[in-house]
Structure 1
Amino acid sequence: MSKFNQFTTLDKELVDALASIGFVELSPIQEKTIPLLLKHKDGVFKAPTGSGKTLAYLVPIIQSIKGLNDTKAVVIVPTKVLANQAGEVLKNIRQVCPNFTYSVIKDGNDLVKSNKTSSIIIATPNLFLKSMHEMNLREVEYLIFDEGDMLIFGGFEEQLNQIMSLPLKATKALFTASVDEHLNTLVRHYMGTATSIDLTEGSVTASEVTHTFVDIRHLSKAEALCLFLDVVKPYKAIAFVSNKKDLADVEEYLLSKKIKHSYIHGDLPKREQKKALKDFKDDRTTLLLASDIAARGLDVSEVSDVISLDLPKDLAYYYHRAGRTGRFGNSGHSYIFYTANEPGKARELMKKSKITFKYATLRTDELKADRDLNVAPKKQKINNVYLEKEIKRAIAKNRSKKVKPCYKKKVKWAIDDVKRRHKEQIIKTNVRKKQKENENK
């Protein structure tokens, strides 16, 4: 693997500063991207989540800064959470390399004078457009669009058109983890004939991540999560829930069980969101319960497991959930809860994805390997004497020497009815046994 010190065009002070905070080796996307951006080439860069895209554009930007009087780069991101994330990376670099300033615009009504002359501006499309009259943009050299697919599909089309039409003589770069063909068409609309680098190999998530469907059987999402935590004992995990009500129910259940965790969703005040993420990053908690607000761009080291308690409405978000683990070459695990009786979305994900999935069933004492969802279970021979007699009796009752309409269907219905009643009887017997056991305790 190449290293930052192999770039002769990077200042030694910057290389040494990066090394002092642990950035020595280049990821593949950094190795491909940095030389192009240093030469001020427009580009579209696709790489799996967790591959180091943020640093891939920040290093050339910092290298280009030679004074503190002008804004050299504008970074556009789809959410404030991602803006803060990029800001955190810059904060760490600036502690060892103070030759630049930066501003994360969090509120259009709360601009400070420093924003006018910050070397790097990070903002959402709306906040940038609202506050750009306060900035000095004449010397901007880089215009970066991070999480480009989310910007394009996230309702920012009008804002992107306005930003693209600004009279900026800046190098434009778009970064994304998605590989959708429709996205490629829209990217060409915004980026024209820019150089395209694709390191996704058809997958949004890193190859080091294993993906497992987990049949939670009769359990609720909250019960299944608690049992999973007890059985698997993940080192550091993020649990995603897409529905607000379900998310609140799981949070309430975790509190009732006194399971320590952090909790984040879009309606939380920003201060509480930052505290929850900080507690999780600093290992004060090892479980983060989250809505899909945390699925994009969130960079937390050492996340060993991602648990999707359900699948998001937009299945593309699953890959971004899974991308919170297996970052920067580390291994990771992504688990998807489902019930075998209702495998609808699970099958849809399997059909659309090029990922190889594993299958398991969550039991009280283990996560047991299971069969592929697409493989039908083998029919087992009936070895219950009483049930066999009842089925024969049902067939005889519906048998006729004359050919009657729907004869085969009626026989099948009769057999199904016998099996259903037999199953109900077993369940009732088991319930009565359980009740007696509880009474005798």
Structure 2
Amino acid sequence: MSTKLSENVLKALDSLGFKEFTEVQEKAIPYALSGEDLIVQSRTGTGKTAAFAIPILEKASMERHVQALILVPTRELAVQVFEDFRKLGKFTGLESVVAYGGVGIEQQARKIRNGAQIVVGTPGRILDLIGRNALSLSKIRFFVLDEADLMLAMGFIRDVERIMSFTPAKKQVLLYCVDFPQEIIRLAERFMRYPQHVKLISEDKSAQGVKQCFYQVMPKRKLGALIYLLKELNPSRAIIFCKTKRQVTDLEAQLNFNGIQASGIQGDMSQALRNRVMDDFKSKKTRILIATDVAARGIHVDKISHIINFVLPHDINYYIHRIGRTGRMRDVGEAVSLCYSDEMGKLGQIERLMGKTLEEKFLPDFIPAPKFTKTFHQSRSQNRFHSQRPRQYHEFRNKDSRRPSFRKSYNERYAE
């Protein structure tokens, strides 16, 4: 490694098996060590946590007060970032604490009062701690916003601004994001001083390391198609994406009812249960995880073989975020989308965004009908898994489901 680091940090890196910096670490760490404010655009799974953790661990002192605050949007990401700080800083003598909702606040407050130098937390819990006078930000030297664009999407930016108001004017601000929307730009202009900008998001959005395909499936056949594909693909580790928390809960019940072990993760779960689900997924005790885009954004697990879009995302840019969880570090991954007629327009937008036509595949004429729990039948009446189109339409689609697609290719549609 070319960047000069202390013996304690190098020892930790060696114990973790670090051989060389990733691109984001190589470009961001020197700026952060020099004390400059920094904006980094980098995808998940690129080693960005270490890119801000290493400089903080290098520059923080042993004084017993909070010197660094790392704000993250989700509990899962808070736990992961905290664990990275703990591992990277295990020989430095610095103490870290993680603060998030869903668990008791007193233990978190006690650790902060006892002199932890680094706090990793979600905006809501950080404001709670400030309101209880358990956390003072008057002496912090480092302020990190991780997944800033997701904080914006989740409505946390006003909370971030409130938290910023409790910090001193003189501090180093490090902002990490995937997208860089206008409101994040305004936030940077307001709180950062001549920041350096490291952009590692390629303009090529075609995801070369990911095999992508889609199946046209009527809504009422999606569950059966999903069960069939999971048995055929036999993924070593897969994430299935849904739109809502209720869809996650329902789909988890239906898959398990049909003999496919799967676990869902969503915001209404207790933290203990969320932790158990993630531990099982990381250890492959459970190979299939069902999640929404928000819940999955804070999940960083290597060696994911398949991404399955049970429902296409509302924002087409989230398609890129979803499939970027597979095919990492020169691995080859596969992304499968189950689409019905009303989603074909959105699929076309995704193809235009990526600059490529996705391969269409076809299901067999006969797929065994899945078993349904009572909950599923109730959800069907609430239009969570099927559309309200006339029965004749579904019968027509059944008869023609094996015909070749008449969609124009990307080149035909967008040649002009």
Band of TM-score, shorter chain: 0.7 to 0.9
C-alpha contact (below 8 Å) 1:236/1:302 kept by paired residues? yes
Counterparts in 2 of 1:71 and 1:181: CA distance versus 1, 3 Å? closer
Q: Which residue of structure 1 aligns with residue 10 of structure 2? A: 15
Q: Which residue of structure 2 aligns with residue 93 of structure 1? A: 88
C-alpha contact (below 8 Å) 2:140/2:168 kept by paired residues? no
CA distance in 1, matches of 2:191, 2:328: 29
More off after superposition, 301-310 vs 218-227 = 218-227
CA distance in 2, matches of 1:182, 1:232: 41
CA distance in 2, matches of 1:245, 1:215: 23
C-alpha contact (below 8 Å) 1:217/1:362 kept by paired residues? no
CA distance in 1, matches of 2:180, 2:210: 18
Q: Shift in Å at residue 279 of structure 1?
A: 0.3
1:172 matched to 2:156: no
CA distance in 1, matches of 2:188, 2:129: 25
Counterparts in 2 of 1:157 and 1:289: CA distance versus 1, 3 Å? closer
More off after superposition, 305-314 vs 287-296 = 287-296
1:269-288 deviations in Å (ceiling 9; x for gaps): 21111101100001111111
Q: Which residue of structure 1 aligns with residue 74 of structure 2? A: 79
1:54 matched to 2:45: no
| Alignment of structure 1 residues 225-236 onto 2, 5 Å | 225-236=226-237
Q: Which residue of structure 2 aligns with residue 274 of structure 1? A: 275
Q: Shift in Å at residue 74 of structure 1?
A: 0.4
Q: Which residue of structure 2 aligns with residue 303 of structure 1? A: 304
1:152 matched to 2:170: no
CA distance in 1, matches of 2:362, 2:184: 37
1:286 matched to 2:284: no
Counterparts in 2 of 1:365 and 1:285: CA distance versus 1, 3 Å? farther
| Alignment of structure 1 residues 287-436 onto 2, 5 Å | 287-340=288-341, 342-351=343-352, 353-364=353-364
Opposite residue 42 of structure 1, the aligned amino acid is D
Counterparts in 2 of 1:162 and 1:340: CA distance versus 1, 3 Å? closer
Q: Which residue of structure 2 aligns with residue 112 of structure 1? A: 109
Counterparts in 2 of 1:337 and 1:146: CA distance versus 1, 3 Å? same
Q: How many pairs were matched up?
A: 365
Q: Which residue of structure 2 aligns with residue 127 of structure 1? A: 125
Q: Which residue of structure 1 aligns with residue 142 of structure 2? A: 142
CA distance in 1, matches of 2:96, 2:205: 30
SS in 2 for 1:104: strand
Q: Shift in Å at residue 180 of structure 1?
A: 4.4
Opposite residue 109 of structure 2, the aligned amino acid is V
Opposite residue 67 of structure 1, the aligned amino acid is M
CA distance in 2, matches of 1:142, 1:205: 36
SS in 2 for 1:89: helix
Counterparts in 2 of 1:220 and 1:244: CA distance versus 1, 3 Å? farther
Work out which of the two has the higher radius of gyration on C-alpha atoms and give 1 or 2.
1
CA distance in 2, matches of 1:191, 1:157: 15
Q: Which residue of structure 2 aligns with residue 253 of structure 1? A: 254
Opposite residue 7 of structure 1, the aligned amino acid is T
Opposite residue 148 of structure 1, the aligned amino acid is A
Opposite residue 291 of structure 1, the aligned amino acid is T
More off after superposition, 247-256 vs 169-178 = 247-256
SS in 2 for 1:220: helix
CA distance in 2, matches of 1:234, 1:25: 30
Percent of residue pairs bearing the same amino acid type? 28
Opposite residue 243 of structure 1, the aligned amino acid is T
CA distance in 1, matches of 2:138, 2:185: 30
Opposite residue 103 of structure 1, the aligned amino acid is V
C-alpha contact (below 8 Å) 2:206/2:355 kept by paired residues? no
* Gap runs ≥5 in structure 2: 367-391, 400-416
Q: Which residue of structure 1 aligns with residue 202 of structure 2? A: 201
CA distance in 2, matches of 1:319, 1:337: 16
* Gap runs ≥5 in structure 1: 367-419, 428-441
C-alpha contact (below 8 Å) 1:68/1:118 kept by paired residues? no
Counterparts in 2 of 1:364 and 1:306: CA distance versus 1, 3 Å? same
Counterparts in 2 of 1:365 and 1:305: CA distance versus 1, 3 Å? farther
Aligned CA RMSD, in angstroms, stands at 2.9
SS in 2 for 1:295: helix
Q: Shift in Å at residue 216 of structure 1?
A: 3.3
CA distance in 2, matches of 1:205, 1:15: 36
Opposite residue 54 of structure 1, the aligned amino acid is T
1:169-208 deviations in Å (ceiling 9; x for gaps): 2100100111446654554344363111111023679653
Q: Shift in Å at residue 69 of structure 1?
A: 1.7
1:51-71 deviations in Å (ceiling 9; x for gaps): 111111111111113415232
C-alpha contact (below 8 Å) 1:125/1:160 kept by paired residues? yes
CA distance in 2, matches of 1:80, 1:138: 25
Q: Shift in Å at residue 219 of structure 1?
A: 6.0
C-alpha contact (below 8 Å) 2:148/2:184 kept by paired residues? no
SS in 2 for 1:33: helix
Counterparts in 2 of 1:328 and 1:135: CA distance versus 1, 3 Å? farther
C-alpha contact (below 8 Å) 1:47/1:204 kept by paired residues? no
CA distance in 2, matches of 1:26, 1:365: 50
Q: Shift in Å at residue 83 of structure 1?
A: 1.0
C-alpha contact (below 8 Å) 2:24/2:51 kept by paired residues? yes
